[in-house]
Structure 1
Amino acid sequence: MTSDAIRRKNKRLALVAATIAVAMVGLGFAAVPLYNLFCRVTGYGGTTQRYDPVAAAEEPKVLSDTVSVRFDANVSPKLPWKFYPEHPRDTVTIGARDMTIFIARNESSRPITGTATFNVTPDQAGKYFTKIQCFCFTQQTLQPGEQVRMPVLFFVDPKIKEDVDARDIQEITLSYTFYPVDDGKKAS
């Protein structure tokens, strides 16, 4: 093999390797948004649905069946807030809108912004637990000593009764964890 042929092969190999490296970096950046989209569509990992009245063809049918919903509240150790549900449990009619209230209080001496992550257990219920309005959709800033009541409007989609893996669920847990929004300052 001539030295020109070897150089061409090496160039081709370097180009293929560089293309693969760029593709892997691109997939690395796309992985999180693609995973989030997958979770929203399938309810995987207890990801809830978000109700869009414009996209909804009709209001959900209200059934006579009920399900118990337990509300769980957690706070990162880095966030000096108290956070808890006003009522830790509720029995809701499947298909009917319901509301619960969470209470948050900033225990620090400075304003702090937090953001909440959420999930639903059991995982099979995630795609049927639909939020209409939730504090988790936006960041929350609380002033020193400020306490707020944060509503969550939701319903359990009646389609849960058609799913063989979810129709016998008797209790759903909606869990939130608040984390500080990183602003480069230390919480006091």
Structure 2
Amino acid sequence: MTTATLEQKNLRTGIYALIGALAMLGMGYAAVPLYDLFCRVTGFGGTTQRASESDAAIAERLAQSAGGKTISVRFDASTARDVPWTFRPSQPTDTVQIGVRDMATYVARNNSSIPITGTATFNVEPEQAGKYFNKIQCFCFTEQTLQPGEEVHMPVLYYVDPAALEDENMQGVEQITLSYTFHKAKDQGS
């Protein structure tokens, strides 16, 4: 093998390695948004769905075929250690008709002497219920700023999709838990 041929093979191998490294780097950056998209589409990990008013209207029409079946929804609230808020649901549970819009409220109070901006993360348990739990309006869609001592009531408008009744993985599920945790907004720092 000549020196020129060996140098060409080495150059080609180096180019392939560089392309492979760049592809892996690109996949690393794309992993988080792709995983988020996957969770929202499938309900994986208890990720809830975001619905529009028209989606809710369709679900309410479908609810008639659900025969007035109900399910219990339990509400859970917590805060990260660095968020000096009191955060709780207005009521711990509610029984809702499947396919019919309902509203829950959470109460948050800033116990500190400075304004705090928080953002809520959420999930649903059991995990298989995530793709059927649809939020139309939610305080978790935007950051919330509370002034010192301020207390606010934050609503969540939601419904449970009647398609849950057709899913064999949902058979025997009598209660869905909607859980929120408030964290400081990224621009707030620690």
Instruction: Name the counterpart of 2:174.
Output: 170
For 1:3-18, what aligned pairs fall within 5 Å after superposition? 3-18=3-18
Distance 1:165-1:146 versus aligned 2 partners, 3 A rule: same
TM-score, with length taken from structure 2: 0.93
Name the amino acid aligned to 1:28: G
By how many angstroms is 1:59 displaced?
3.9
Instruction: Name the counterpart of 2:152.
Output: 148
Asked if residue 46 in structure 1 is aligned to residue 50 in structure 2, the reply is no
Residue 16 of structure 1 aligns to a residue whose secondary structure is helix
Segment drifting more, 49-58 vs 106-115: 49-58
Instruction: Name the counterpart of 1:26.
Output: 26
- Matched residues in 2 for 1:51 and 1:163: separation? 19
Higher helix share: 2
- Matched residues in 2 for 1:57 and 1:149: separation? 25
TM-score, with length taken from structure 1: 0.94
- Matched residues in 2 for 1:24 and 1:180: separation? 32
Segment drifting more, 176-185 vs 74-83: 176-185
- Matched residues in 2 for 1:115 and 1:104: separation? 12
By how many angstroms is 1:182 displaced?
2.8
Instruction: Name the counterpart of 1:118.
Output: 122
Q: Can you list the C-alpha shifts for 1:122-168, whole angstroms capped at 9, x where unaligned? A: 00100000001000000001111111000000000000000001132
Instruction: Name the counterpart of 1:93.
Output: 97
- Matched residues in 1 for 2:32 and 2:189: separation? 26
Instruction: Name the counterpart of 1:139.
Output: 143
Name the amino acid aligned to 2:105: I
By how many angstroms is 1:57 displaced?
8.3
Distance 1:16-1:56 versus aligned 2 partners, 3 A rule: farther
Unmatched 5+ stretches in structure 2 = none
Q: Can you list the C-alpha shifts for 1:20-64, whole angstroms capped at 9, x where unaligned? A: 100001000111111111111110000001112356783432231
Instruction: Name the counterpart of 1:80.
Output: 84
Instruction: Name the counterpart of 1:179.
Output: 183
- Matched residues in 2 for 1:104 and 1:115: separation? 12
Unmatched 5+ stretches in structure 1 = none
Aligned-residue CA RMSD (Å)? 1.5
- Matched residues in 1 for 2:149 and 2:174: separation? 38
Distance 1:57-1:148 versus aligned 2 partners, 3 A rule: closer
By how many angstroms is 1:184 displaced?
5.3
Q: Can you list the C-alpha shifts for 1:105-124, whole angstroms capped at 9, x where unaligned? A: 11111111100000000001
- Matched residues in 2 for 1:36 and 1:136: separation? 15
- Matched residues in 1 for 2:80 and 2:16: separation? 45
